[in-house]
Structure 1
Amino acid sequence: MSTDGFAVRTMRRQEVEAAVGWAEREGWNPGVSDAEAFYAADPEGFFIAELDGAPVGSVSVVNYSEAFAFAGLYILRPEYRNRGYGSRLFAAGMAHAGNRNIGGDGVLAMLEKYRTRSGFSLAYRNIRFEGTGGGNEPEGPVDIAAVPFEPLAAYDARHFPAPRPRFLAAWIRQEGTRGRAVLTEDGEIAGYGVIRRCHHGNKIGPLFADTPDVAEDIFLALSAQVPGEPVYIDTPEPNAAAVALARRQGMVPVFETARIYTKAVPGLPLDEIFGVTSFELG
């Protein structure tokens, strides 16, 4: 404990659940079961700030590999903001990543602060679209449960800056989640996507696909699982086909983030990334 009663420590599992609850109150609309998968990614990567023993803030910096980490869940209770606590909390979390390239999704208004505080630079914008589920499920996509996990994890790793098998295994199996994949005639994965129950409606993410047509089939298959309910998808703005898909399905933009990195922008195939997995964990 510091002399002013402020301290940062690693979260316990149940505290990650609480931090996801704070994210909901901030209006970020996380999944109702996200905490389990988040914690599986890196149990040492979640931090809680306390003042005289009472929780006042959170941040996550999840180490996916020796080269890459992702920061999120940066929340300070409103009454404790602008008092220097946020900077100390953020610095403690960033220290967990060491010399890794750190990614994040920040609000656009905070870009200058992220740049000056931790050296983050803008890569591109992500746009959250909102629509309504329903329609008929196309014939092509198959239930993700029928796809062997190893090739699924390998396909996922092509579209993310690091392999994340522990996270992925928990993510696709969390309660209220359904997944679909498209396979080629040779049985290779041509795309996959997941839709999960959120505090408000349902969110598609990730949605990775070799082509826009495959992405649309997966999108339609997932949307058909939740007729009449709100559906969200977070699209990288540089993928014009992803933005066009969302608009073609009658979705409207409701929120934006800035995808930022402390080092070089990873060389990912953005034209195959139609839906971001999570603003909190990348």
Structure 2
Amino acid sequence: MRKEDGAEAVASQELKVRRMDESGIALALEWADAEGWNPGRHDASCFYAADPRGFFLGELDGEPVGCISAVAYDGTFGFLGLYIVKPPYRGRGFGLKLWNTAMDYMGARNVGLDGVVAQQDNYRKSGFKLAYRNMRYQGTGGGTEPAGLVQLSSIGFDEICRYDATVFPVPRVGLLRRWIDQPQVVALGVLSGNRLAGYGVARASRSGFRIGPLFADAAHVAGALFEGLSSRLRGEPIFLDTTEANPRSAELAQRYGMEPMFETARMYTGGIPNVQSDRCFGLTSLEIG
């Protein structure tokens, strides 16, 4: 039976689960950094804008011990992430209580996640099916910006949303508005006439900059966007999450001398969404899709 979305606390043994506000998400991102996930410096406000009700904190006698995010983008699609229990509290069933709260909130939506490979079997038991693998690559910014790029801020927001919705399963207006406008961001586009042919964003992370999304009609457009972003991040560590759904994304990373770091498994409960995966050269975020 699904719990009511409005329930603000779920008690289980000594663990209480409640919704997080933006400051709680900031704490979860500190934990994510400790796990080596290298979250963005300004992710908390961006994530919160995606779904203010989709972030849950587990507390034991008032002490935060675990968290999970369950972003409901609309009534049909959601994404799980930030699934963390602090090391001293693992193996006590707290993670399962957080998981169940998140899945109850997701309801009948098709739910996606990017999980570590070792946890695939556990996710399968909860109804998730492997779609494809993703690989994070690391490199160093530099090079020369090619001609033909424009500041993304010069393009109408409706056009950015239109293009994004060809690659992401559903519109995500709240997230995008914050994502492309956050501090320390580099955001570039390529136009074909008055329509986008691709866009890319690099956001400041705890170490260097993470590039994503990197969406483009063709590999040469993605390459130009990558070169433009990289040229503005000279000497900085840069990271790109490529996807097996578009093998040309890994080819792009390798062409620019990036090295693989770690692999994740993209899984869904309701099947792979019908999107133009060949336009995805870099995922937006392993935490929220």
Which position in structure 2 is the counterpart of 1:6? 15
Q: 1:131-182: CA deviations, max 9, x gaps?
A: 1100111111101010100010110011101100000000111111110000
How many angstroms apart in 2 are the aligned matches of 1:3 and 1:266?
Answer: 34
Which position in structure 1 is the counterpart of 2:4? none
How many angstroms apart in 1 are the aligned matches of 2:265 and 2:82?
Answer: 15
- 1:121 partner letter: K
How many angstroms apart in 2 are the aligned matches of 1:107 and 1:251?
Answer: 21
State the shift of 1:238 in Å: 3.3
- Structure 1: give runs of 5+ residues left out of the alignment: none
Q: Report the TM-score when normalising by structure 2.
A: 0.95
Which position in structure 1 is the counterpart of 2:195? 188
SS at match of 1:55: strand
Report 1:146-161 matches (<5 A): 146-161=154-169
Q: Report the TM-score when normalising by structure 1.
A: 0.97
Whether 2:117 is the aligned partner of 1:108: answer yes
Aligned with 1:202 (options 205, 209, 228): 209
Q: 1:19-62: CA deviations, max 9, x gaps?
A: 11111111000100011000000000000001111110000000
- 2:160 partner letter: L
Whether 2:127 is the aligned partner of 1:119: answer yes
How many angstroms apart in 2 are the aligned matches of 1:209 and 1:83?
Answer: 45
The count of residues paired between Structure 1 and Structure 2 equals 280
Which position in structure 2 is the counterpart of 1:137? 145
SS at match of 2:106: coil
- Structure 2: give runs of 5+ residues left out of the alignment: 1-9
SS at match of 1:258: strand
Aligned with 1:42 (options 51, 64, 86): 51
State the shift of 1:2 in Å: 3.7
Report 1:67-86 matches (<5 A): 67-86=76-95
How many angstroms apart in 1 are the aligned matches of 2:42 and 2:74?
Answer: 24
How many angstroms apart in 1 are the aligned matches of 2:247 and 2:94?
Answer: 39
SS at match of 1:96: helix
Q: 1:3-27: CA deviations, max 9, x gaps?
A: 7321111112211111111111110
How many angstroms apart in 2 are the aligned matches of 1:2 and 1:247?
Answer: 48
SS at match of 1:29: coil
Which position in structure 2 is the counterpart of 1:250? 257
SS at match of 1:216: helix
Q: 1:172-223: CA deviations, max 9, x gaps?
A: 1111111000001x21100000001100111100000000000000000001
1:11 to 1:79, Cα distance in 2 relative to 1, 3 A: same
How many angstroms apart in 1 are the aligned matches of 2:11 and 2:247?
Answer: 49
State the shift of 1:271 in Å: 1.2
SS at match of 1:204: strand
Which position in structure 1 is the counterpart of 2:5? none
How many angstroms apart in 2 are the aligned matches of 1:241 and 1:278?
Answer: 18
Which position in structure 1 is the counterpart of 2:101? 92
- 2:49 partner letter: A
How many angstroms apart in 1 are the aligned matches of 2:212 and 2:223?
Answer: 13
Report 1:219-234 matches (<5 A): 219-234=226-241
How many angstroms apart in 2 are the aligned matches of 1:187 and 1:77?
Answer: 49
